[in-house]
Amino acid sequence: MRELTFDLDDRGDVVVARVDGEIDSSNASELQLALAARVPSAASVLALDLSGVTYLDSSGIELLFGLGRSLAARRQAIRLIVPETAPVRRVLELCAVESVAPIDGDLADVLAAIAGPTD
C-alpha cells in the first residue's frame, strides 16, 4: 500500500490540494477532516488534484461526496483535477461524483471554469 500524502497551495480564491497515494477506509475520514479544516473561509473553491491517486475505494468516494456537501454548506465549491488517463477517473465517472464535484483535466481547466465565459 502506498502511503497517502497531500499538500496545499493557497492561491487566494482557490485552494489547490494535491493528493498522492491510495485513498481507502484507513485514511479517508482523516483526509476529509484535514482538507475541510485547512480550506480558509475566504476561498471559494477547493481544487482537489487526484492525479497522483492510484487507488480509491468506496470510502474515498464517500469522502468526495461528504467534502462536496460540507463545502457547499460553507458556500464553497469543490472541483476535481483528474486527467483522462488517471487510474481513478473511470471510477469517479461511474459513481457520478460530478454531481457534487465537476471533474477537470488540469488546473488550467479549473481556473477557466471558475472564471466563466470570456467574450
Closest-CA residue to 110 (of 87, 83, 71): 83
pLDDT (tens digit, 9 = 90+) per residue, 66-108?
A: 999 999 999 999 999 999 999 899 999 999 999 999 999 999 9
> CB-based contacts of 111: which residues, under 8 Å, 6+ apart?
14
- Quote the pLDDT of residue 119: 58
Whether residue 50 is contained in a domain is answered as yes
Whether residue 118 is contained in a domain is answered as no
* Number of domains the chain contains: 1
Whether residue 77 is contained in a domain is answered as yes
Whether residue 98 is contained in a domain is answered as yes
Whether residue 119 is contained in a domain is answered as no
- Quote the pLDDT of residue 12: 84
**Whether the model pTM is above 0.95:** no
The domain of 30 spans: 5-113
- Quote the pLDDT of residue 110: 95
- CATH number reported for the structural domain that contains residue 65 in this entry: 3.30.750.24
pLDDT (tens digit, 9 = 90+) per residue, 19-71?
A: 999 999 999 999 999 998 899 999 999 999 999 999 999 999 999 999 999 99
